[in-house]
Amino acid sequence: MTDLNKPNSKPTDSEVAAKQHIEAAEVNNQQVSIKAWSQKLLVVILCVASFYGGWKSYESNMVNECTANGGQMIEGQRTMLCQSL
C-alpha cells in the first residue's frame, strides 16, 4: 500500500490522468470564455452595421419617393425635407 502523504511516492496512472483532465478542462473553460466574448462583440458589430444599413436604406427610399413625385430634397439642420416644385 502507498502512502499519499510521502513526498517520494509516485502518482498512479489514474491520478496523472485525472490531473491532466482537470488541466484540460481549465484550458477549455478559458477558451470558451474568450470565444463567448468575441461572439458577443461580433453580434454587437453586426447589429450596429444592420441598423446603419437600414437607416441609409430608409433615407434612400425617401429620396427616391420624393423625386418620383416631382419633388426635390432640401437638407435642414437635422432632417431632410421634400419640397414640391
Work out the angle at residue 5's Cα, subtended by the Cα atoms of residues 2 and 8, and round it to the nearest 5 degrees: 70
Convert 17-46 to b/e letters by CB count within 10 Å (16 or more is b).
Answer: eeeeeeeeeeeeeeeeeeeeeeeeeeeeee
How far is residue 57's CA from residue 36's CA, in Å, rounded to a whole number?
Answer: 31
In a domain, 72, yes or no: yes
Q: How confident is the model at residue 74 (pLDDT cuts 50, 70, 90)?
A: confident
Residue-wise pLDDT for 11-66, tens only, equals 787 787 778 777 777 766 666 566 788 888 999 999 999 999 999 999 999 999 99
In a domain, 3, yes or no: no
Which pLDDT score is estimated for 32? Answer: 58
In a domain, 6, yes or no: no
How far is residue 38's CA from residue 16's CA, in Å, rounded to a whole number?
Answer: 33
In a domain, 5, yes or no: no
In a domain, 69, yes or no: yes
In a domain, 4, yes or no: no
Task: Tell me which residue range forms the domain holding 48.
Answer: 13-84
Query: What predicted TM-score, i.e. pTM, was given to this entire model?
Result: 0.53
